[in-house]
Amino acid sequence: MLEPITLKIGDDRHRGWLVNLGPEGARISGPFGLSIGTTGNLTIPGIGDLEARVLAPTRDGYRLKFSPSIKQRAQIIEKLHTARALPGSDRGDIVRIIRELARALTH
């Protein structure tokens, strides 16, 4: 899941990428020099603005925590589960999954 994001902290706008998304947090890449505990406004396409707190640095960015509204939480879950039949978790190749599982179990 690579989508463009903007993280606004004070007057600074940091552009980056959404690497991982969960109902109450995300991992982003791109921004640097952020302090742990800093709060800002994270803009995610299709969800909108979320007040986010910087939890921890990662190799290429940061882990963030947020408290979405009920509507935003539903939008996040829809995005995660691709309810609109977009490529994603609903389009798994079952034959390939079984083949890879069998290969992993025999080695």
What confidence score (pLDDT) does residue 96 get?
75
Amino acid identity of residue 65, one-letter, is K
pLDDT by position in tens, the chain (length 107) = 678 999 999 999 999 999 999 999 999 999 999 999 999 999 998 899 999 999 999 999 999 999 999 999 999 988 887 645 454 545 566 777 787 778 778 86
User: The CATH number of the domain where 80 resides is what?
Assistant: 2.40.10.220
Q: How many domains does the chain have?
A: 1
List the domain range (segments joined by +) for residue 72.
3-106
What confidence score (pLDDT) does residue 85 get?
42
What confidence score (pLDDT) does residue 1 get?
65
